[in-house]
Amino acid sequence: MSRTWESNRIRAVTRCSFVGGGAEMGQTSQDYDVVEEIGTGSYGIVYKARDQVSGLVVALKQIRVQGSASGVPATTFREIGLLKRLCRLRCQLVVKLLNVITTPLPENSDIQITLVFEHVEQDLASFISSFPPPCLPDELVKSIEFKILKGLDFLHSNRIVHRDLKPQNVLVSDRGQVVKLADFGLSRMYSSNSVLTTVVVTLWYRAPEVLLNAAYATPVDIWSAACIFAELASRTALLQGNTELEQLRKIFRLLGSPAEEAWPQSSSIPWRSFSGEAGVPLSTAVPNLTGNGQDLLREMLRFDPTQRITAQDSVNHVYFEGMSLP
């Protein structure tokens, strides 16, 4: 790890500056003062920092890459490409990429790629856990879920599937008024003949078609959004399996076993392994949702992805009547 972080500062030697949704390449230097570490994972570390020139508070996603730029993982290139595209499209519901910084590390041939994002106070998981009991107000649940689905509608209409939607990847302001989809490391552009990997989506928010190793597309994001919807209403995750098989079992115990003809033929898991589950009413599992909310949740949790409601139809559901973006 570069010692620059110990002095709470990153000094960039290459900066890709996004202006008006486009990109300008130029050799310059820029200092950011790190305020605190706000997240970590297999991808690297995220810091809250302040731009010394503008004073703007930003989030820095730092990725260390061994060797030269040719060794940068394809997922990093893909994420940067998608974020640049989204920046040009100017969606207020997607976290904005401000800069891409490449810093050679002096002690070896490694490089450090830093993605500079606009800063939002917290992720949705922290927001939910810190909210006073017993539950979030109905209008707040409705507002946040509406914005998540509007964000998904924007992505899907531009042929982008997020593939890792979960509360930790949704950013919200202190009062929940600002909502932005984030972390596009697993996101992909797709087409009708795309072949997509099954190693996507955090387990609790993973759609059954992914768990069954079947073909999938944008409906996987709707399933994840449904799990978030239920979590907003109940303050606890809807389906908490420890393994893929256990997660499938929890899904079918909730929804009931699907008909054999609906089972994906490409799946190596036999239908009989999960037959016979009667399911429970969603009103029992998520009692805090209103009648229209229950109906929307049911449509979002359809086992058959072709029958699952789309993001566009979701935001037009009667549950969101009167809702609009500012």
Alpha helix segments (H runs only) across the chain = 74-89, 124-130, 138-157, 208-211, 219-234, 244-255, 282-285, 291-300, 311-315
Active-site option among 123, 153, 164, 183 = 164
Q: What is the DSSP string of 85-151?
A: HHHHHT-TTBPPEEEEEEEE-TTSS-EEEEEEEE--SEEHHHHHHHSPSS---HHHHHHHHHHHHHH
Omega of the bond leading into 134 within 30 degrees of 0 (cis): yes
Active-site residue 164, yes or no? yes
Residue type, 124: L
Residues of 119-129 as b/e, b for ≥16 C-beta within 10 angstroms? bbebbbbebbe
Q: Which tokens sit at 109?
A: 């041939």
Residues in the chain: 326
What is the C-alpha end-to-end distance of the chain, expressed in Å?
43
**Strand, helix or coil at 14?**
strand
Q: Which tokens sit at 269?
A: 């898991």
Which sequence positions are flagged as catalytic?
A: 164
